[in-house]
Amino acid sequence: MANSRFEYVKSFEQPDVLLPNTWIVVRIDGRGFHKLSDHYAFVKPNDRRALDLMNAAAVEVMKELPDLCIGYGVSDEFSFVFHPSCQLFERRNGKLVTTIVSTFTAHYIFKWSEFFPSTPLQPPYLPSFDGRAVIYPNSRILRDYMSWRQVDCHINNLYNTTFWTMVQQGGMSNTDAEQELKGTVSGDKNEILFKRFGINYNNEEEIYKKGSVVYRKFELEEPTPIQTSVDEVSPLTEQKQSRSQQDKIKKLRRKAQVVVDHVDIIKDEFWERRPWIIS
């Protein structure tokens, strides 16, 4: 196949390698899930089955791609974080994004019937996802990115919980509820929930309030050596790593259990207790 007269077309391909030694975040988002969630009658505001399905697909993505450090999901979106030392596909943007999107979608569809046993998928309402990669230069900004998504989760969930309670329990029309919520701050929504419906927002389920964090639970096996190994993967020392060290870390990452948690990732505690995630 080499050296045919057609081969020059290859030179039209544009390079899309992402900057070295930066955190790569691939965020995927369900296409038209507003419509899709109506069609399959997702419970409003939060369908637990749909969230569990998102998380189950994300766990499979983490298992298939050991270069991933952590994932964070809310609603129909998921962010996946590659370590600065990641060399998968020579860090080519298109390759990374499409692999995450298609791997996630494949598992989402494969597992659909497990979570929605009596609601089979039906064209044209087939789930698909878009995706993009963004690079962040240091772990402080990466953490700000994660915080941004979790704050978004909180704001949307408080709004949606209040809106749907006014509609479902208060018998209000969608338009009236929307109108009344216009210009309100968090305190107002908390008060509507509590005074009118006796609902304390703090008692809502953590998965709805905090979203879902997916990461490798290393401490279950060899706590100390792992932390040292992961330190060695830090961008500054990356070049010093031997091939065998890299292989060892990869193997440990592959073996580690992937867990789903619904916790605060804005404060330091989550990260300080798990220094291997973004060291």
Query: Residue positions in the annotated binding site for GTP?
Result: 29-34, 75-76
Number of residues binding to ligand ATP, judged by CB under 6 A: 15
Cis peptide, bond prior to residue 137, ω within 30 of zero = no
Instruction: Tell me how far apart the alpha carbons of residues 229 and 251 are, in angstroms, rounded to a whole number.
Output: 12
Between 67 and 76, name the residue whose CB sits nearer to ligand ATP.
76
Paired with 259 in beta bridges are 215
Helices then strands, counting H and E runs in the chain, come out as: 11, 6
Three-state SS at 13: coil
Q: How far is CA 41 from the centre of its chain?
A: 23
Q: Does 33 bind Mg ion (CB under 5 A)?
A: yes
Paired with 215 in beta bridges are 70, 259
- DSSP annotation of 238 reads G
Cβ-closest residue to Mg ion?
Answer: 29
Picked from Mg ion, ligand ATP, none, the partner binding residue 34 (CB below 5 to 8 A depending on kind) is ligand ATP
Q: Does 77 bind Mg ion (CB under 5 A)?
A: yes
Specify whether the CB–CB gap between 34 and 40 falls below 8 A. Answer: no
Q: Does 222 bind ligand ATP (CB under 6 A)?
A: no
Q: Does 50 bind ligand ATP (CB under 6 A)?
A: yes
CB of 136 to ligand ATP, least distance (A): 22
CB of 31 to ligand ATP, least distance (A): 4
Question: With b meaning 16 or more CB within 10 Å and e meaning fewer, what string describes 136-154?
Answer: beebeebbebbeebbeebb
| Residue 47, both tokens | 């369908």
Q: Does 178 bind ligand ATP (CB under 6 A)?
A: no
Instruction: Tell me how far apart the alpha carbons of residues 43 and 49 are, in angstroms, rounded to a whole number.
Output: 9
Q: Does 76 bind ligand ATP (CB under 6 A)?
A: yes
Instruction: Tell me how far apart the alpha carbons of residues 220 and 229 are, in angstroms, rounded to a whole number.
Output: 15
| H or E element in which residue 73 lies | strand 68-74
Residues annotated in a binding site: 29-34, 75-76
Q: Does 60 bind ligand ATP (CB under 6 A)?
A: no
Find the part of the chain contacting ligand ATP (CB under 6 A) among 37-45, 90-98, 109-117, 216-224. 37-45
Q: Which residue in 21, 39, 47, 56 binds ligand ATP (CB under 6 A)?
A: 47
Q: How far is CA 132 from the centre of its chain?
A: 12
Picked from Mg ion, ligand ATP, none, the partner binding residue 264 (CB below 5 to 8 A depending on kind) is none
Picked from Mg ion, ligand ATP, none, the partner binding residue 60 (CB below 5 to 8 A depending on kind) is none
Q: Which residue in 24, 51, 135, 249 binds ligand ATP (CB under 6 A)?
A: 51
Q: Does 46 bind ligand ATP (CB under 6 A)?
A: yes
Between 43 and 259, name the residue whose CB sits nearer to ligand ATP.
43
Rounded to the nearest 5°, which phi and psi values hold at 257? -75, 135
Q: Which residue in 29, 152, 238, 261 binds ligand ATP (CB under 6 A)?
A: 29
Q: Which residues bind Mg ion (CB under 5 A)?
A: 29-30, 33, 75-77
Q: Which residues bind ligand ATP (CB under 6 A)?
A: 29-34, 37, 42, 44, 46-47, 50-51, 75-76
